[in-house]
């Protein structure tokens, strides 16, 4: 049976005239055949529904809320000026459940009873909009007004948003960066002790958050090479490790030795360092983040080169040695290789990056412009890994919001070009749900850059609800 405004118990909630009917429904989507403009209500004639307009369908037990995601005139009616058939594709975003006395409750996600074919569709009335966008007792921040009715505030439920992953997507120039700046500024105003890290590939957020910003750039970043995992140091020193297996083997053999040498020198027992298998130091693997000297690594490579002279192909040793030399001389790599006073300042780095203590600067903006392009992916990977580890080992007690501007560059995606540690980042993404790391993704033109994704040309904040696998 078709629902009309006359059989809605609370008749003041919805405008009198339907603007269309449900013509197809599948999953969480539906098509609405819009009535011809001449037959529609005045409001529709004047403005017409636009993308983002909230529509309603009454299913007796609830008022289902539908958000317009696309509008079209079917091809076969393009020439017929009188017919002008128009179709709106809508997403069934949730519903206002109806109590037995007809009272409508506030918004809940999901739809308990689907609309049926032929059901009337109406534009949401002011009362419905108020209920749909009502934030009740949640801690919420106002970031503006909703477009459909500028008298109704648009608010974000901060705690709910930051306890999940969320994304802002939109086509180029649609206002993603401005939205992020606005959202984060508002969150910071109400949560001055938050811990936020923002990756800023275009250096555009440096002035956005005023005194609350800890600004990190290649000039003041100290990210020692020894905190890199083996895969990451291979990417920097060798590039594509699969193409140069001999050089990878050299690093695999000598990095643990260099680590043992440094630890032994710290303990004043240099002599014993070269003997493998003695106590704690023998447990140093290529991935353990303990300090070692690049000069020790070079010394080991040189010693081996001299020992093997005339016995073996020395090209991998020489190529690796040359690459290490050129990187150490390149000023763009100073943030990683220039620090001559080698000490275990990992804790200081963590404190600075993740604002422990906050000390009035709740957000760290990491400006990536100026970093060698071939190393940006590794730096991002290290920062993401540190955020993940911190959230995991603090058991969620220290929530961190990790904001990725231009996320298509970092999020695992075969076509995105970022090869470094995709598994780690994917793992971080899911496990972080349990451990207090919220990942804030900013996609530019999602449809163009991530084939298979639905492009959304307007502001959209989305939270993943999927639970990680145990």
Q: Which one, 201 or 299, has the nearer CB to ligand ATP?
A: 201
**Helix or strand or coil: residue 102?**
coil
d(CA 48, CA 36): 11
Which of 157, 158, 183, 179 has its CA nearest to residue 170?
A: 179
315 membership: H or E segment, kind and range? helix 315-329
Q: Which residues of 13-33 are buried (b: 16+ CB within 10 A; e: fewer)?
A: bbbebbbbbbbebeeeebbbb
C-beta of 444: minimal distance to Mg ion in Å?
6
Q: Is 175 in the site for ligand ATP (CB under 6 A)?
A: yes
Q: How large is the C-alpha radius of gyration of the chain?
A: 29
CB count within 10 Å of CB 126 equals: 14
Binding partner of 173, given ligand ATP, Mg ion, none, CB within 5-8 angstroms per partner class: ligand ATP
Q: Is 381 in the site for Mg ion (CB under 5 A)?
A: no
Q: Is 176 in the site for ligand ATP (CB under 6 A)?
A: yes
C-beta of 451: minimal distance to ligand ATP in Å?
18
Longest dimension (CA), the chain: 96
Are the beta carbons of 160 and 187 closer than 8 angstroms? no
The residue at minimum Cβ distance from Mg ion is 177
Q: Which one, 201 or 396, has the nearer CB to Mg ion?
A: 201
Which of these segments, 64-72, 174-182, 317-325, 453-461, binds Mg ion (CB under 5 A)? 174-182
Q: Which one, 202 or 315, has the nearer CB to Mg ion?
A: 202
Q: Which one, 226 or 410, has the nearer CB to ligand ATP?
A: 410
Q: Is 403 in the site for ligand ATP (CB under 6 A)?
A: no
Binding partner of 311, given Mg ion, ligand ATP, none, CB within 5-8 angstroms per partner class: none
Q: Is 177 in the site for ligand ATP (CB under 6 A)?
A: yes
Which of these segments, 102-110, 171-179, 226-234, 338-346, binds ligand ATP (CB under 6 A)? 171-179
C-beta of 349: minimal distance to ligand ATP in Å?
29
Burial of 210 (0-12, 13-18, 19+ CB in 10 A): exposed
Helices (H), 121-244: 126-132, 158-162, 176-190, 230-237
Which of these segments, 58-66, 150-158, 169-177, 319-327, binds ligand ATP (CB under 6 A)? 169-177
d(CA 30, CA 11): 24
Which of these segments, 62-70, 168-176, 312-320, 372-380, binds ligand ATP (CB under 6 A)? 168-176
C-beta of 444: minimal distance to ligand ATP in Å?
4
89 forms beta bridges with 31, 70
Which of 149, 153, 154 has its CA nearest to residue 47?
A: 149
Q: Is 450 in the site for ligand ATP (CB under 6 A)?
A: no
Contact pick of 21, 59, 177, 381 for Mg ion (by CB under 5 A): 177
Are the beta carbons of 48 and 105 closer than 8 angstroms? no
Instruction: Give 70-75 contacts, CB < 8 A, sequence gap 24+.
Output: none
Question: Cα separations (Å) of 80 from 36, 72, 75, 77, 94?
Answer: 12, 14, 10, 5, 36
Site mask, ligand ATP, residues 192-231, x = CB under 6 A?
Answer: ----------------------------------------
C-beta of 445: minimal distance to ligand ATP in Å?
7
92 membership: H or E segment, kind and range? strand 86-98
Q: Is 179 in the site for Mg ion (CB under 5 A)?
A: no
Which of these segments, 43-51, 165-173, 379-387, 446-454, binds ligand ATP (CB under 6 A)? 165-173
Residues forming contacts to Mg ion in the complex (CB under 5 A) are 176-177
């Amino acid at each position: 049976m078709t629902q009309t405004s006359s059989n809605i118990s609370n008749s003041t909630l919805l405008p009198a005239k339907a603007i269309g009917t449900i013509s197809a429904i599948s999953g969480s989507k539906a098509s609405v055949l819009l009535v011809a403009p001449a037959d529609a209500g005045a409001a529709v004639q004047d403005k017409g529904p636009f993308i983002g307009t909230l529509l309603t369908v009454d299913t007796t037990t609830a008022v289902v809320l539908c958000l317009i995601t696309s509008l079209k005139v079917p091809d076969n009616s393009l020439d017929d000026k009188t017919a002008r058939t128009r179709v709106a594709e809508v997403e069934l975003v949730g519903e206002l459940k109806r109590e037995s006395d007809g009272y409508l409750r506030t918004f809940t996600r999901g739809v308990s009873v689907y609309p049926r074919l032929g059901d009337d569709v109406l534009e949401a009335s002011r009362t419905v909009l108020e209920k749909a966008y009502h934030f009740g007792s949640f801690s919420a921040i106002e970031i503006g007004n909703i477009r459909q009715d500028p008298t109704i505030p648009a608010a974000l439920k901060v705690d709910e948003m930051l306890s999940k992953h969320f994304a802002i997507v939109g086509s180029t120039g649609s206002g993603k960066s401005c939205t992020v700046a606005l959202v984060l500024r508002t969150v910071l105003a109400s949560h001055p002790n938050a811990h936020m890290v923002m990756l800023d590939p275009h250096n555009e957020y440096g002035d956005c958050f005023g005194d609350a910003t800890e600004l990190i750039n290649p000039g003041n970043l100290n990210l020692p090479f020894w905190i890199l995992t083996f895969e990451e140091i291979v990417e920097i020193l060798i590039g594509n490790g699969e193409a140069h297996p001999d050089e990878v083997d050299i690093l695999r053999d000598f990095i643990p030795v260099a680590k043992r040498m440094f630890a032994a020198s710290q303990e004043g027992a240099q002599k014993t360092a070269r003997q493998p298998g003695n106590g704690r130091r023998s447990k140093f693997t290529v991935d353990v983040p303990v300090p070692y000297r690049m000069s020790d690594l070079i010394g080991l490579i040189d010693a081996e080169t001299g020992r093997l002279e005339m016995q073996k192909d020395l090209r991998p040793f020489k190529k690796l040695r040359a690459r290490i030399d050129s990187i150490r001389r390149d000023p763009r790599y100073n943030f990683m290789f220039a620090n001559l006073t080698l000490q275990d300042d990992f804790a200081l780095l963590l404190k600075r990056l993740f604002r422990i203590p906050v000390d009035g600067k709740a957000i760290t903006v990491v400006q990536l412009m100026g970093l060698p392009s071939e190393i940006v992916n590794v730096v991002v990977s290290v920062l993401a890994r540190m955020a993940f580890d911190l959230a995991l080992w603090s058991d969620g007690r220290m929530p961190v919001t990790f904001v990725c501007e231009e996320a298509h560059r970092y999020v695992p995606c075969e076509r995105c070009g970022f090869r470094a540690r995709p598994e780690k980042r994917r793992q971080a993404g899911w496990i972080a749900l349990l451990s207090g790391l919220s990942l804030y993704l900013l996609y530019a033109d999602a449809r163009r850059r991530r084939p298979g994704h639905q492009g959304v040309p307007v502001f959209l904040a989305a939270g993943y609800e999927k639970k990680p696998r145990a």
